[in-house]
Structure formats: structure tokens, C-alpha cells
Amino acid sequence: MTYRRLFVGSSCLAILISGGAFAAGTDFTQYVNVLFPGVVAAPFAMVKLGPDVQSGTKDAYSGYLPDGKVWGFSMMHESGTGGAPKYGVVSQMPVVGDVSNPLAELSQSRSAPDQGSIGSYMSSLANGVVVELSATEHAGLYRYTFPEEQTSSIVIDISHVLPSFRGLGWEQHYSGGNFSFYNDDHYEGSGTYNNGWNLSPDWTIYFCGTFSQAPSSLLTFKGEGTKLASYDSTTSVSGTERLGGVFTFNSSSIRSRVGVSFISSSKACQNLDNEILESTTLESLVDTAKKRWNAEVFSKIQISSTDVADLKLLYSSMLGMFIIPSNRSGENPGWSSDEPYYDDVFTFWDTHRCHTSLFHILQPVAYEEFIRSSIDIWRHDGFLPDARSSNFNGRVQGGSNADNVLADAYVKGVRGAIDWEDGFSAMVTDGETTPANNNDPKAPDSSTKEGRGALPDWLEYGYVTPRFSRAVSRAVEYSTNDFGLYQVAKGLGRQEDAEKYLNRSRYWRNHWDPDCTSNNHSGFVVPRLANGSFVPQDPLTCDGCYWDDVYYEDNAWVYSLNAIHDVATLKEYVGGDEMFADRINKLFDLNIFNAGNEPSFTSPYLYNFIPGMQYMSVRRSRQISKLYNSGTAGLPGNSDAGAMESNLLWHMIGLWPMTIGLGNGRTLAISAQSGNKDTAFYVQSLKVNGEPWDKAWLAWEDVFADGGSMEFVLGPDPMDWATGEPPPSPASGDLRLS
């Protein structure tokens, strides 16, 4: 059997989901809060244009912070990530009056809170300048309104890049650039940067820009720190120093157009010419952005609710989900290929549980391109990506979770132009080839760049010893990764491989110490030495839960429930249904469950494996969704590149994916009859495609492959309606494959 089931959580909304676009009509963008993440961007666009804000030593992950001073407006951002800020490059900063030293502090407070809606962004600065922004895939438009009768200046500083104040060695560095001004009043150049959370080597971005009128003066500058080495009318500067240009205008109203490219500055000029002309108005770009987001994204989920809070939450979440990854097809400097290219996968550790599955359903075309791109990255870089950004694969927190994403796509029938033989080979690289150590100071024992750093132990012992950092959490994830290899091997008719990887998918069991106890439970995944002995472990603690600890970002209580492909065995290990239910309850009662962190995302749905307890998944789902709202602080953790938003969306949809599947433009209509959405939310009965349904789970084919319907009747009291077949535990049965 394949592994593509969804659990019934709760649904208190009538909801319509489609992989294809609905007829135009409603403007859903009115419900979207763009201040989180605080950039303007087309769906999956390369350019994400927005303000860069300084506020003490707070890291501004996507540039925007609600409080603080604006120190530039830059073209490149990565939305919703943690770790440390990435990008914040190709910026410009408006200054009133002549600029005596462009290297000095030029930041400005805002005179009013920033405003924005899909396609447009506006900042009002204390110096009286109003900055309006809009963007296309590879270009941006700035519209400046300066105070009247004063000199208007715009500073372009190539060294501008988002800083990190965490002191963890993950800050970005500027390593040089160039800037040239041409007779026809356009300028071009490039900047080179490195590091950031994924420890990337130097990467270069090119830009090409022009203004709506000729400057009354142009000066270029160079210097170190705030000390100028040159500041004059030379038209070209280059080097490793801070450098750039200062444009001065005789007008209070100035438009600035900029194109970017990872290939060359002439490609940046071409991108600009293709997307934003001198005659293009900001209003027309905003109009196009709204039309695109409505047609390509928002209209794909429609709910019957007229509650504005529900609508804001839904559509703001969809913005967070589809602003990255970035479609950089045609913009890959690493190799030339006819395959699509997507960057800013940040990260599969965050997104593989529930983001990629919804990505597939709602954006099937982009999703197929994204899978092809991942395989092409393996072809040319040797490994599938994990937290790819600035064209560099790292950094890996747990397993090689691209394996789960590919398997999910495979079992849900995603085919198109994907070469699945290569896809499987890419997964086998993860499963069989130890990546070279990148000597990460945070975890020097093995690679954090790609693949499975702790693979040698996995292959030798069937578990990971503490000579490798994050030994237990990596092992638990390697099990699910190998389950992914099993699924694809089986589908491709590779029986021997399938048996091998199914066997390996059970290796999490080798970390199970039946004598490890906590809060009246015994049996947890714990560290294990090469000689076979378990290391004593308090399941409630994991020391720092970080890079060099045995569990990453969660403890043994959470990781012990993560063998979601092998639940029947897990249930047996913990002592049966009652003990299993009590374990899940304790995650909440003992405050272990963290709605803001991914390893426990699936735990509330494990009640579906216990006869008569489906209602508890509903109760937990309600509890968790209440932690979300559409404000700037509306997520219980950082967005993690849309993982949080997709988690919420599945809660709203009332299903939880255990692996991901194919959407082909059909519609799933979910309706719910309920007296009161706040008090009557327990499932009383369910019909699927018009027929009574007694299982707390669905297969992909039931409602997604060809579309379908789900009709819930909801009530105030739990009802034992899911009396049919329990959800499958595909890794728990006989090893012999049917």
C-alpha cells in the first residue's frame, strides 16, 4: 500500500478547495495583511521589495519590523524564516538635502505606520519623504515624494545587507561590488555577499536601474566604515570597500526602476525592460499584482464564512505560504539547464510536514517545477537541497527531508516532466552517500550542508550514536526518510530496494529504551552507544535542544511520537490504546507540545489511531487554531517559510496530511452543518462523496485525486462516529511486501 492518508481534524467552515483557478470576481486581497512579512512580491517571485528596519539588536528576518528606523528599501528578502536574516540587498535610501557623507547613518524613523496591500507598500519617513513600492518577478518600482523646494537625494550603497545580532556566526557579510553610471542615465553593477544561516560562500547579485529624470548631479563613493576614501564625479567604482552612488534631483517627485539578476548586469537590464517600462504606472503594477494573487492563489480556497477575522486569517496565511520558495528559472548562475530552478527552500525540515502537501494541492504547476528543480539541483550539486538559499544547499537540521517531499509527490501521482528514475537516484544518494563534512562550528562532527551527516552510524549500527550531534532526532527522521525511499522504490518496481528501505524505516525502534521512564510512562527514544547500551535520559529535558545536543529543538516526549509511518508498533511499545491516548494528552497537560515548532505538528492527530478518540483531535485542533490570528504577531512561532501558515490552513480545512499528494485542478468541497461554530464543533457524522463514512482518515484518491466532497454534521458533544477501519501503519506489518 502507499502512504497518502489524511486525518479528519475539524472543520467548522464550509470550504472549497481547488488546484485550478475559480472564476474571477471576489477581491480576496482586501483581507490580506501584508505587513507580515512586509514586502511586495508576485507569487513565488524572485524580487521581494520592502523596507529594512533597525530596532536595537532585533534581527529583522524579512527586513520589516513594526518599530524602529528604516535604513533602506531593498529588492531581495526571504520571508518568514528564522535562524538569521538573509538578503536585504540592492537597496536605496532617500535623503532630504545634499548628502555630505553617504557612509554615515542615514536611517529615518517613520512619521506614520507603514501601509500596504497586495502589490503596494508605503512608508512615510520622519524627513518628510513618502516611499511607495511595487514589484514584478525580477524588477521593482519605487515612487518617491520628497518635501517641496529642497534637494532630493537617493543613496545607493552596495554594501547594504541585513545584519544579524545573535552572535551565532550566522551574520551575512558584504565582500565587494561595483557600480557604474552610463551616459544614457542608467546605472548598473553588482554586489557580492556571503554567510547567513546557511553558511553560504560568496554569491553575486547584479542590478540595473534608472530614474524618471536625469539627476542634477551624480557622485560615486568608496570608503571603510563611515570614513570616506573618495566621493566625487567618477562614473565607475569597484572594490571590496563600501561603495555606491548618490543621485541628486531637482524635483520632489521621482520614480526609480530597478531590475535584478543572478546572471549578469545586462540580464538585470533585460529583466527591467521586460517587466517595468518608463511608462508603467505604480497603479498598473498594483492592479496586476492583485489580479495575479486572486487568480493564482487566493481564489483556490473559498470559505462560506463572512467573519472578517476568519477571512483575514485564511488569506493572510496563503500569502505567507506562496511568497517563497522563489522561482528563479532562468536565473541560476550555477549551471545551464532546461529544468526549472527554485531557490529559498527554507527549510524542508520546516515545510515537509504540511506545507509541501498544500503547495501541491493549490499550486500543482509550480509544485511540479519545484520537484524537477530539486532533482536538477541533485544532478549538478550532488545532493538534494535542504535549506537552500543564495544558490547553496545547506543547512540540515535533522534528516534529508527532501526524501519525504519527493516520496509524497510520487505516491500522489505527480509525474508530468519529472524524471522519477533520477528522483529515486537522488534519494538513494541521501540514503547511501555520506556528505563531506563542512566543519560547521555549531556541529563539527559531520555535514550540516546536505544529505545525512550521521549516515555512517545509521548504516553500521542501525541507529546513530552520540558521536554525532542530534543523534536521536536525526535517527527518527532518517527512519521517515528511508520510508520515503521505500515508497518510491516500490512504485518503480524495485522490490529489493523497497524491502531494504522498509526495513531501515524501522530503525527508529533501535533507539527505543523500554526502561526509560517519565510521568508514569515507560519507553522513549534515547541515545544509544556503539556497544548497544542505552544512555540514561530524562525524556523531559534535552539540555539545549540545539545543534550539538542529542535532540534538536524538542525532547524525547515529542520525538518518541514521530514514527508516524509505524504507529501500530509505536502503540504497542507505549502499552496500547489507553497509554497512547494518555501520552498524547500529557504533551498538552505537561506543556510539552509547542504549536510553534514543527516536530510536534502531527501529534494532535495521533488520536485518530485510537478507537473512539477522533473527537480529541478536533478538540486539540481548535485549541491550536486559537493561537493564530492575522495580526503582525499572529503566528505562534516564526513563519518558517510558510510552515506555520500551512499548519493553520490544514486546521481550518479540517484535515491533516500524513504525506502529500497530487492536485489536478479538481475541486474538494467541504461543508459543515453546525448550530454554532464556537461551541458545536465535534464531528457527529461524515459523508464522503455523498456516502456515509466511518473512518477518521481518507486516502488521497478519495477526495483529492479526482476531487470530491465531505459533508460534516457537527455538534456540541463528542460522538463515536469513526468506528470503521483504523488508519494504516504501513511500516508496522510483515516485512514481506504484498
Which window, 149-157, 432-440, 447-455, 529-537, contacts ligand NAG (CB under 6 A)? 529-537
In angstroms, the CA 41 to CA 141 distance is 11
Q: At what angle do helices 355-362 and 402-411 cross, to 10 degrees?
A: 40
Q: How far is the CB of 340 from ligand NAG (least distance, A)?
A: 6
Q: Which of 204, 210, 271, 351 binds ligand NAG (CB under 6 A)?
A: 204
- Strand pairing report for 682-688 and 217-224: unpaired
Q: How far is the CB of 607 from ligand NAG (least distance, A)?
A: 18
Residues 6+ apart with CB under 8 A from 359: 321, 322, 351, 366, 367, 370, 646
Q: How far is the CB of 188 from ligand NAG (least distance, A)?
A: 8
DSSP state letter for 106: -
CA atoms within 13 A on the CB side of 305: 25
Which window, 109-117, 277-285, 414-422, 528-536, contacts ligand NAG (CB under 6 A)? 528-536
Contact track, ligand NAG, 602-641, x by CB under 6 A: ----------------------------------------
Q: At what angle do helices 308-322 and 643-653 cross, to 10 degrees?
A: 140
Contact track, ligand NAG, 324-363, x by CB under 6 A: ---x-xx---------x-----------------------
In the complex with ligand NAG, the residue whose CB is nearer, 309 or 540, is: 540
**Start-end of H helices in 282-363:** 282-292, 308-322, 348-351, 355-362
Q: Which of 519, 673, 679, 689 binds ligand NAG (CB under 6 A)?
A: 519
- Cell digits of residue 426: 537522488
- Strand pairing report for 217-224 and 242-249: antiparallel
Q: Which of 101, 127, 234, 238 binds ligand NAG (CB under 6 A)?
A: 238
**Start-end of H helices in 418-505:** 420-432, 455-461, 471-491, 495-504
Q: Which of 27, 499, 538, 548 binds ligand NAG (CB under 6 A)?
A: 499
In the complex with ligand NAG, the residue whose CB is nearer, 33 or 505, is: 505
In the complex with ligand NAG, the residue whose CB is nearer, 535 or 719, is: 535
Contact track, ligand NAG, 167-186, x by CB under 6 A: -----------x-x------
- Cell digits of residue 393: 544547499
Q: Which of 41, 258, 358, 366 binds ligand NAG (CB under 6 A)?
A: 366
In Å, what is the CA distance from 161 to each residue of 55, 63, 166? 15, 10, 15
In the complex with ligand NAG, the residue whose CB is nearer, 475 or 670, is: 475
Q: Which of 1, 104, 112, 529 binds ligand NAG (CB under 6 A)?
A: 529
Using rule CB under 6 A, residue 317 touches ligand NAG: no
In the complex with ligand NAG, the residue whose CB is nearer, 140 or 654, is: 140
In angstroms, the CA 38 to CA 50 distance is 6
SS3 707: coil
- Cell digits of residue 639: 513563519
Which window, 160-168, 399-407, 432-440, 497-505, contacts ligand NAG (CB under 6 A)? 497-505
Residues 6+ apart with CB under 8 A from 698: 5, 6, 8, 655, 688
Q: How far is the CB of 589 from ligand NAG (least distance, A)?
A: 8
Which residues of this protein are in contact with ligand NAG, per CB under 6 A? 178, 180, 190, 204, 216, 238, 250, 327, 329-330, 340, 365-366, 369, 462, 499-500, 503, 519-520, 529, 531-533, 735
